[in-house]
Structure 1
Amino acid sequence: MHGQTQQGRWRRRALSATAALAIGVITPGVLTAGVLAAPQAFAARQDSVQRSLNALVRDDGSPAALASVQDRGGRTRTYTAGVGDLATGAPVPVDGQVRIGSNTKTFVAVVVLQLVAERKVDLDAFVDTYLPGLVRGDGIDGRRITVRELLQHTSGLPNYSDHLGDDIRYYDPRELLATALQHPADFPPGEGWKYSNTNYVLAGLIVQKVTRHSLAEEIDRRVVKPVGLRHTYFPAPGDAGIREPHPHGYDRESADAPLRDITEIDPSWGWAAGQMVSTGSDLNRFFSALLTGRLLPPAQLAQMRTTVPAEATFGPGARYGLGLVSRPLPCGGLSWGHGGSFPGYETRGGATDDGRAANVAVTRQLTGEADRRELERVADTALCR
């Protein structure tokens, strides 16, 4: 999930009821091609992805790092480094589930664009067409904000996650929207670009209004099941755990504070902007299916890939489409994906038009620009290997 400094973190810090865990020296356990071994055994033949994961653990303070890499032929290789549970020393699960944060936005955008293809939603219709009278505030008017502007972050809506307190509890989506509407617009609709989680709360509410089903149901029916994402889900209300094998997620309140285990947390304050759980391999499958036209007709996929500059949030050369980010790769060409941040987890990755895909995750939410760019560099290394 992204927040005030975006493609990175939420302003609100998530606290854990568990005791703080100090992190000492972590010796990376390495898993390559399904075989667990000491790092020394692989030293002579580790590839660049494994070396990069080891560095994330050794140098950047992440308890664990995971990667899933798909080549042009569809073959997948998984990697891990670090410790999956600092309390027990358990290894990192192979291709374990993580909270994928704002990668959720791409799933939501796909559902909206499918509804566009079905002529149930119009990208250039105003929000009031579907949610009459709901969006009003200081410089905010749902009669002037289009669905396209929601999906592309050009609405000017303030970011609700910048204004939430530290209360860990269930949030109704309309409560999240109400939090945002207490603050003035950042700019008039269509006259700027700024990442705001509020946009996707509204997109999710439109999906529910049009389909008369929950957002979770529509994502599952339209995306998860058709593509065969067996380890991806939208947590139900009250579902604070992670269902399948997963590395624990950690957080620290300041640079010198101990790590806290925050794996179990109510994710409802992410909702359509960042609530989902998945694995690296499932994310690769999803983005690959999207780029090859399995999820959207050509016209809607072309709209999704029509981008505007988004360097302030996503780094040099980055552009934002409709829930989809393009980034230039050091080996040439573009990576199409999103990335996400949620307390305890950070993910980066994407897919290319020639069939490559990669996703990298670490088990702490990254708060510094340098750390986030380093994780992006590792994802680029995986795509370019």
Structure 2
Amino acid sequence: MLKFVAAALAATVLAAQPAAAASAPDPVRRDLARLVADGFPGALAVVRDERGHVRKPTAGVARIGTGRPVPADGQVRIGSNTKTFVAVVVLQLVAEHRVRLDDPVERYLPGLLHGRKVTVRQILQHTSGLANYTEHMPLNDLAIRYRHFQPRELLEIGLAQPDTFAPGTSWAYSNTNYIVAGLLVEKVTGRPLAGEITRRVIRKAGLRHTYFPADGETWIRGRHPQGYLRQEDGELVDITDLDPSWGWAAGQMIGTPSDLNAFFSALLDGKLLPAAQLAEMRRTVATDMWPGARYGLGLISSPLSCGGVAWGHGGDIPGYETRTGVTGDGRAATVAVTMMPETEQAADAVLDTVDDALCS
């Protein structure tokens, strides 16, 4: 849970004690150390303040049993941050008058949703009511670690389940929505999703260490910490190498914390979308993700303890969790850990670290 602190009091204390503040330990380093002490094998962050100063603290080990430090700004699987990349491409197509947000998906992909009257906006905002296909897959079962899935196979897993509510009547996070969004991009452009993300977003934002793994590519290309999955007997298994195709448009990508900061900053600065489409992306609805979190079109706003909100997303995939927040005045922070949180308290601790990075 994000902490709520009196920002004015904090500012007064800092102003009154500049020497003490200068010598105080970095709160993000402290938080990363606590994450490791509480069970995460490794943790890393990249933090940029409003003046553009960047720091890249780490804690823990890159590989259990070696003592090797976590590489600063190493590549990780970024999971559901992929959704924001996909949403940007869809909104670029809206700006090009090739897609309309309030059109039914069936207009572009006839028969795909078996007659369901779901709009493009509802897909991007998780208000479609489509069941979440990943809730019906044994993702922690090592037997499917290297199994390759086709997007329509994933979609059918979701569509085989009862819808959770009528379209537009509620909100529920569903990876199925973004499989639909990825198929929509491919249908409208006539090109593979990975290529469109690379051309339209990764290159445009100048991201040097972010990519959409190719079919059959199970490894991470650059410097990276290993990711771990706890088994029922308590053993931590190195799950870094896996086939991420089960995530596809909902969570297949790989990147670095600094690239995530750069991506979300470029997005909010209007470098990836025209003003009208960015405004649509920032129109949010309430969620049950964590206190105060609201969901736009592939974009999450979260209240900060020091006032205002941070914009970003986050991602969870076996081996890694990432959380990002950027603000309108240039602050940015991404925190990654090398195992998915096993408790709500652990998940809250990752969110708190982002908050401390932006507010300290």
TM-score, L = length of structure 2: 0.91
Instruction: Determine the structure 2 residue equivalent to 1:275.
Output: 252
Moved over 6 A (4+): none
TM superposition shift of 1:338: 0.5
Instruction: Determine the structure 2 residue equivalent to 1:199.
Output: 177
Q: Hey, what's the Cα distance between the residues in 1 that align with 2:311 and 2:128?
A: 22
Whether the 8 Å contact between 1:349 and 1:380 is mirrored in structure 2 is no
CA RMSD of aligned residues (A): 1.1
Q: Hey, what's the Cα distance between the residues in 2 that align with 1:61 and 1:87?
A: 14
- SS of residue in 2 equivalent to 1:183: coil
Q: Note if 1:225 corresponds to 2:203.
A: yes
Counterpart mapping for 1:168-183 below 5 A: 168=145, 169-183=147-161
Counterpart mapping for 1:50-65 below 5 A: 50-58=29-37, 60-65=38-43
Instruction: Determine the structure 2 residue equivalent to 1:284.
Output: 261
2:278 maps to which of 284, 296, 301: 301
Instruction: Determine the structure 1 residue equivalent to 2:332.
Output: 357
- SS of residue in 2 equivalent to 1:102: helix
Count of residues paired in the alignment: 333
- SS of residue in 2 equivalent to 1:340: strand
Instruction: Determine the structure 1 residue equivalent to 2:167.
Output: 189
Instruction: Determine the structure 2 residue equivalent to 1:147.
Output: 120
Q: Hey, what's the Cα distance between the residues in 1 that align with 2:343 and 2:65?
A: 26
Instruction: Determine the structure 2 residue equivalent to 1:92.
Output: 70
Which string of whole-angstrom CA distances, capped at 9 and with x for unpartnered residues, describes residues 210-266 of structure 1?
Answer: 011111100000110111100000000101000000000001034x60211000000
Instruction: Determine the structure 2 residue equivalent to 1:34.
Output: none
Whether the 8 Å contact between 1:358 and 1:383 is mirrored in structure 2 is yes
Q: Hey, what's the Cα distance between the residues in 2 that align with 1:352 and 1:372?
A: 21
Unaligned runs of 5+ in 1: 1-43
Instruction: Determine the structure 1 residue equivalent to 2:26.
Output: 47
| Letter of the 1:63 counterpart | P
Unaligned runs of 5+ in 2: 1-22
Q: Hey, what's the Cα distance between the residues in 1 that align with 2:176 and 2:339?
A: 24
Q: Hey, what's the Cα distance between the residues in 1 that align with 2:102 and 2:276?
A: 15
TM superposition shift of 1:87: 3.9
Q: Hey, what's the Cα distance between the residues in 2 that align with 1:125 and 1:301?
A: 18
Instruction: Determine the structure 1 residue equivalent to 2:341.
Output: 366
TM superposition shift of 1:45: 5.1
Q: Note if 1:326 corresponds to 2:305.
A: no
- SS of residue in 2 equivalent to 1:350: strand
- SS of residue in 1 equivalent to 2:43: strand
Once the two structures are overlaid, the 10-residue window that deviates more, 71-80 or 116-125, is 71-80
TM-score, L = length of structure 1: 0.85
Q: Hey, what's the Cα distance between the residues in 2 that align with 1:333 and 1:213?
A: 39
| Letter of the 2:253 counterpart | M
2:217 maps to which of 204, 228, 239: 239
Q: Note if 1:262 corresponds to 2:239.
A: yes
Q: Hey, what's the Cα distance between the residues in 2 that align with 1:367 and 1:206?
A: 34
Q: Hey, what's the Cα distance between the residues in 2 that align with 1:248 and 1:288?
A: 27
Q: Hey, what's the Cα distance between the residues in 2 that align with 1:290 and 1:207?
A: 19
Q: Hey, what's the Cα distance between the residues in 2 that align with 1:249 and 1:70?
A: 25
Instruction: Determine the structure 2 residue equivalent to 1:31.
Output: none
Which string of whole-angstrom CA distances, capped at 9 and with x for unpartnered residues, describes residues 324-373 of structure 1?
Answer: 00000000000000111000001112100111000001000113211111
